[in-house]
Amino acid sequence: MRKILATLIIASFACGADLFVGSMTPVLDKVGGKVIAELHAGAKLKQISQNGEYVEVEYVGFIPGESPIAYARVGVLEQDINVGDMKTFKVIKTHKDPYDNEWDEVSVKGFVKKDTLVADIDVVHKAGQALFEERCGSCHALHAYDEFGANVWPSVIETMISNSALTPQEVETLNRFLQSKAPIE
């Protein structure tokens, strides 16, 4: 999978354009600074500026309550970013999901290595699809994408990690793909 990602990485990105995390990557407070967060495959970013092999980015996502993990959509547990300290999240505004739970819209700014980013979310989804087709259909038939909801697939995958010898990196790429296909309920 690393190979697929590496060949599809775009060498330079346009300012203000959307970028996506191709593989799990730390966020630094400045170039050569300390790690303030960890971004996961598929998370969407906005480029602020370029600095050598680093890109300054802004991430915007949603947290349910006091969660150190932010998600891509309100009510859907697509894991985008983990922070060590809740103060890393800047709260923008509060939303409610269909069950009346509050989700804070939060932003994080920092520096990430350019070569961990891709210009198109399809790169991540295609890598996830390849994993699914190659690793999930040898013992039983491939299960349908809509057999489980977007919030259930990660726990199904969890039970199949040792069967499929998935690395943490592969788990998140696979989850991201299945969550993009699965119904939300």
Residues that bind ligand HEC (CB under 6 A): 135-136, 138-140, 143, 156-157, 160, 163-164
Contact in structure between 21 and 105 (CB atoms under 8 Å): no
**Contacting residues for 147 by C-beta, under 8 A, at least 6 apart:** none
Gap between the Cα atoms of 110 and 49, Å rounded: 10
CB closer to ligand HEC out of 28 and 157: 157
CB closer to ligand HEC out of 33 and 137: 137
CB closer to ligand HEC out of 61 and 154: 154
Which amino acid, one-letter code, is at 6? A
CB closer to ligand HEC out of 7 and 159: 159
Find, among 87, 36, 34, the residue nearest to 63 by Cα.
Answer: 87
Find, among 82, 103, 77, the residue nearest to 178 by Cα.
Answer: 77
Min. distance of Cβ 161 from ligand HEC in angstroms? 7
Q: Taking the CB of residue 93, how many other CB atoms lie within 10 A of it? A: 8
Min. distance of Cβ 132 from ligand HEC in angstroms? 7
CB closer to ligand HEC out of 88 and 179: 179
Min. distance of Cβ 42 from ligand HEC in angstroms? 17
Q: What is the CA radius of gyration of the chain?
A: 17
Min. distance of Cβ 40 from ligand HEC in angstroms? 17
The count of residues in the chain is: 185
Min. distance of Cβ 178 from ligand HEC in angstroms? 7
Min. distance of Cβ 133 from ligand HEC in angstroms? 10
* C-alpha pair distances (Å), 71 with each of 12, 22, 65, 82, 122: 26, 16, 12, 9, 18
Residues facing 46 on adjacent strands: 18, 58
CB closer to ligand HEC out of 118 and 136: 136
